[in-house]
Every structure is written in C-alpha cells, then in structure tokens.
Amino acid sequence: MRLSRRGFVFSISVLPFARRLGAQDDATFSADVKVVNVLATVRDKQGKIIRNLTKDDFSLEEDGQPQKIRYFSQEVDLPLKLGLLVDTSGSQRRLVGQERTASYRFLDQVLREDRDRAFVIHFDHEVELLQDLTSSRQRLDAALAELESPTERAQQGGGYPRGPGAGYPGGGRGRRYGGGGTLLYDAVLLASDELMKKQAGRKALVLLTDGVDVGSHIGLVRAIESAQRADTLVYSILFADPDGNPGFGRSRRRDANIPPGGTFPGVDGKKILQRIADQTGGGFFEVSNRQSIDEIYARLQEELRNQYSLGYTPDHGERPGAYHRIHLALNRSDVVVQARDGYYADH
C-alpha cells in the first residue's frame, strides 16, 4: 500500500539562516549553520495571551542540555500556511453543517489573501483534498461547500465534485481506501507529507474531529511523526456527537496500545487529540456547552497571530535521523508555555 507516489521523503526540522536576525539578536550566521526554530504561545493561568515577553524571559534545553537562544521575535505578521482537516465520517453526520459554517467564518477572519494560503481536506472512509494550497477565498469557500457526510453523498448519488485545485500534488484526486470509516491518522500524514513538507515558514493544521480513527493504514505515532518531520503545528478541535457515535467515550486501553490500521472500540478520542497537539506544539480545544466552535476558532485565530519565534544552534554533533527533545520554559510560574517537544535531525 503506497500512501504517496513519491514515497516517504521527509523534511528537515532545522533550517539554514544567512542573515542578521532581529533587533534583539546579536548573532550573525553563515549559510551552512543549522538553526532550530521553535514557535511558542504563552498564556496566563486564566488563558489570556501574553504579548510583552523578551528573550531573557525564556530558557531552553535540548536533550537536557541548556541552549543559548540566538534569535528571538514576536510573530504577528509572518505569512501562514494553514490546512483544515475535517472529519465527515458517519459519527459526525449531524455536525458537518456546523463545521462547515464555522469554518467559513474562521478562514474569512484568519486568512489575508495577499499573505496567507490554506487547503481543505475531508476524511471518512477516504482521505480527499478538496482544495490545494491557495490564497483564493472563493476557492476555499467552494471546497467547504462540498463538505458532506458519506450518507449525504450517497443520498445525492455520488462523490465530491472536482473543482480547480482539487487533487493531490503529483497526480490523483486523493487517496481512496476501502474498509474503515474514519481515516484520521492517514489524513494527518497526507497533509503533512504531501503538502506541508514542501512549505517553509509558519505552518499549522487544524484538525476538526471526534478523535476516533477507524481503518487508517498507519498508527497514531506515525501520524504525529509525520507532522513533526514537516515542522507543522497541529491544533486539535474535539467536536463530538455522543448520540451519533455510541462507541465514543472513555478508553478501555492505553493510547500506546492503539495498533496501526485502526482503534479499539471505546478509544478516548480526547486523549488522542491532546497527544497530537502536545507533541507537535499546537493546541487542544473542545467544543462544549461552555465553548462553541465559533469561540474556539476565535481563540485559535488569536493564537496564530501572537506567537514567539525562538532559534538556537545545537551544540551537539549531528546524529542523522535522531529525535532531539526540546524543553522551553519561562522564568516565572504564573504562565503556561505551548511549544513543540522536539525535532528530527537532518538525514
């Protein structure tokens, strides 16, 4: 089974820099110096974004060893590449309309047509790219209009229509698989490996689902690794319909026991989505009576526009393919730092 016609060629997580980096930075790097990038969001204990921090407020370690932060900036205007991955499986059939309407508003608010680009993927028993990366709101709106559950598609007598920009780069209209009904992990891998891996700068996936995978060809660990290797943050939004999916609920097994190719009945989607967000440096949100999907999207928009960017040059020798753990902290206890927990070294 091939998920990509080009095979698995992963991106590096360290980027070369050859310029003077920011007013607060006193270092100049040559073109062959590897700089590890870390994007961070900082909130107080009440959840409010903190915007007035400096480089000296942060401390950073790699594999337990202190690292010098060589450059620092607050990213409020850097171009954004955004992927919206929407669960249209049977368990979401009563929520697709809300997902579609809220996503219209979110993309309208967060994307600047002259700076940012986005793509739209749906997943159920197949993973399909409805719109490739584009800055066109018209094309993105058209892709969102196509979001339907399998039941709705069957009632209308067919699959998704194919507009401009649909289909995966390199050929094909998506990856279709028989069998299972919610290819969550495959969707994350394809978005990361086929699309985000080739992009530079700030990259984020927004994952709108109940968190339960049924039928993927890879497991949870591989899905997370693909986003990490593509240097992409994943923001998970738990949007579940308990009445529409009786199997959704508390896990009867540990997440680590989830095998490639699917999940056990009763797996806790919340824990899965929290794990994806935590290990990629994104964030986790849950739609509930206290917090609507529109409110979550508003908070996510604020977060994407208020991130700190930190960079350092590792002081260890290269270990090709190795995973290096990062620990970013603040020199104060009244805040919560959100950042990725590591990166893969160059091959």
Q: What's residue 152's pLDDT?
A: 56
61 lies in the same domain as 132: no
Residue 7 falls inside a structural domain: no
Q: What's residue 6's pLDDT?
A: 27
Q: What domain count does the chain have?
A: 2
Q: 191: how many CB neighbours lie within 10 A of its CB? A: 28
56 lies in the same domain as 197: no
47 or 176, higher pLDDT: 47
263 or 238, higher pLDDT: 238
Residue 254 falls inside a structural domain: yes
Q: Assign 155 a pLDDT band (cuts: 50, 70, 90).
A: low
279 lies in the same domain as 163: yes
Give the pTM: 0.78
Amino acid (one-letter) located at 71: Y
Q: What's residue 331's pLDDT?
A: 87
Residue 9 falls inside a structural domain: no
Q: What's residue 108's pLDDT?
A: 87
Q: Assign 156 a pLDDT band (cuts: 50, 70, 90).
A: low
111 lies in the same domain as 208: yes
277 lies in the same domain as 137: yes
Cα 54 → chain centroid: 26
Lowest mean pLDDT: which of 6-20, 230-244, 267-281, 325-339? 6-20
Q: Assign 160 a pLDDT band (cuts: 50, 70, 90).
A: very low
Lowest mean pLDDT: which of 100-114, 125-139, 254-268, 305-319? 254-268
Q: What's residue 173's pLDDT?
A: 43
106 lies in the same domain as 231: yes
Q: What's residue 266's pLDDT?
A: 60
111 lies in the same domain as 242: yes
Q: What is the 3-state secondary structure (H, E, C) of 270-331?
A: HHHHHHHHHHHCCCEEECCCCCCHHHHHHHHHHHHCCEEEEEECCCCCCCCCCEEEEEEEEC
Q: What's residue 246's pLDDT?
A: 46
C-alpha to C-alpha distance for 75 and 117, rounded to whole angstroms = 17
Residue 3 falls inside a structural domain: no
Q: What's residue 153's pLDDT?
A: 53
The yes-or-no verdict on residue 310 having pLDDT over 90 is yes
Domain of 324, in residue numbers: 14-76+306-344
Q: What's residue 31's pLDDT?
A: 40
